[in-house]
Chain A
Amino acid sequence: MQQQVYQHTLPNGLTILGEPMPWLESVAFTLMFPGGTAREPHDRIGLAGMTLEMTQRGSGRWSSREVVEELDFLGVDRSSSVSSFYTSISMSAMARVLDTTFEVAAAMVREPHFPEDELEEVRQSALLELSSIEDDPAQKCFVELKRSRFAEPFGRSSLGSVSGIEAVSHEDCVAFHQAHAKPQGAVLSIAGRFDWQDFLKLVDRYLGSWSGGPATDLGDVEPRIGSIHIPHDSQQTHIALAYDSVAYQHPEYYRGRGIVGILSDGMSSRLFTEVREKRGLVYAISASSHSLKNCGSVLCYAGTTSGRAQETLDVTMETIRSISQGIESGELSRLKSRTRTSLVMEQESSASRSSQLAYDWITLGRTTTRQEVLSEIEQLTSENLIEHFQKHPPKRWTLVTIGPEPLEFQDEV
């Protein structure tokens, strides 16, 4: 479990993190800067995603088509996304092509061409992507759950809204990028096979002269409670449910996460056992920890044919509450064993380490080591988990259902 994490801050404020994994042939980096959906003007919802797409249509010495061709030539696996507070660009490739790969990514941030004649194409793509979730009710259920629970501007979907996408102008994209793609508050992480000093030189060459002040604080996130039903002509009713928990930066985060693990990690977890294995109510059921700044939540999903949806919701909520009645030692030991294994396996993927480094930095303001996570997990006991559950019981529930009929839902506890 030996692990070394380098850290350096450029004079312009950009934080650089690096974790060498010299046993790999690959290298992966992640660049995150504060350009999320919560920073969009209220009548331009969808702007962050469209801006990101525009930055990928030509930058630096590459035209729109040349960017794609260059990355294909180098064999780069890439992804980019927008969340509530950040825009993120990730790339992974064989170590020998790091220099040019990084130059492409840096150009997207520093020197995007923003081709005006491609804006309509970007807009049409965004509208199509937005409409495609109508045919994926499970995904739509989560989009609506976040919209409902985290409210404006924090609950916005990166897919945007029809009116927002239709209103976005070329100037909006340029201005949004100029205002938010800045080194202060941004983080660049790298993991895999690389030389730290060489990488710092590379970053200095392409991002050393990047400038810009810090992002404004948008205030705290306050969850909203209640239920929403969206009628849909489907066989299944899709149930998305959220309730309060502790956020990633909370001192007791691992206790909260441990409880979610007992509920949902693995095939012996309580939700899988009670809802699927014993009663055959669902094919898919899950719960996960979700942190949006200060606001920690547990988000759950279950999909079931409509006649059994009420029972599924009731059993799911009952199972969540059953934690207060005790945790078996076997449940705890399985949780620990799964964590140990996944921490070891993390070392097989440069991409997952690089994104974790960046996520830790923007959420905690520091990186965490495997040893630290392991020690947090090893300290969990049935008693301290129950104590945590009593201190932070599931409350302030939010429910979204999509299907033929609404369900009865009592927001209590």
Chain B
Amino acid sequence: MNWEMSRVVRTITDILIVPMIIFGIYLVLHGHLTPGGGFQGGAVIASSTALLIVSYGTLGKHKKDLSSIEAVGLTLFILIAFFGIGYTMFYNYLAGTGGIFGGTVPAGPNPGYINTGGTVTLMNLMVGIEVSAALSLILWMMSRESGIMEAKDKGSEGMEVKG
């Protein structure tokens, strides 16, 4: 059963996917300056995946890739947290060092410099990767189990609950 919507919907999806993903990346990268952050940006990126699934009815066979991306995001988050263990866990060891993500914030009102987050930017990035992959994986599993997506490799994974 191939479930695909009309050409108009698919063309609009092709056009809208790019600004949605770019807006999600913007929300993730500006998490320490503006409203937003890892979870919100990841949810915006995952809603682009929802648009793709609803209009095309397929996402390809990328379940293993999504699962791996989620695991890599979580592992790097914990790893970045443990790198500051000499002081405390989650210590912002990059702030004020002058390198990448480590610029010093000048005193007084400023427009908000993106290069000043320290490890906060890296953690927002990792949370964004993890949340987008996890919500996309949820949508993928739901649509495959409900028969919207053609299920050719059904039964090859051990995550199904047959009752």
- Asked whether A and B interact, the reply is no
CB within 8 Å of B: which residues of A? none
CB within 8 Å of A: which residues of B? none
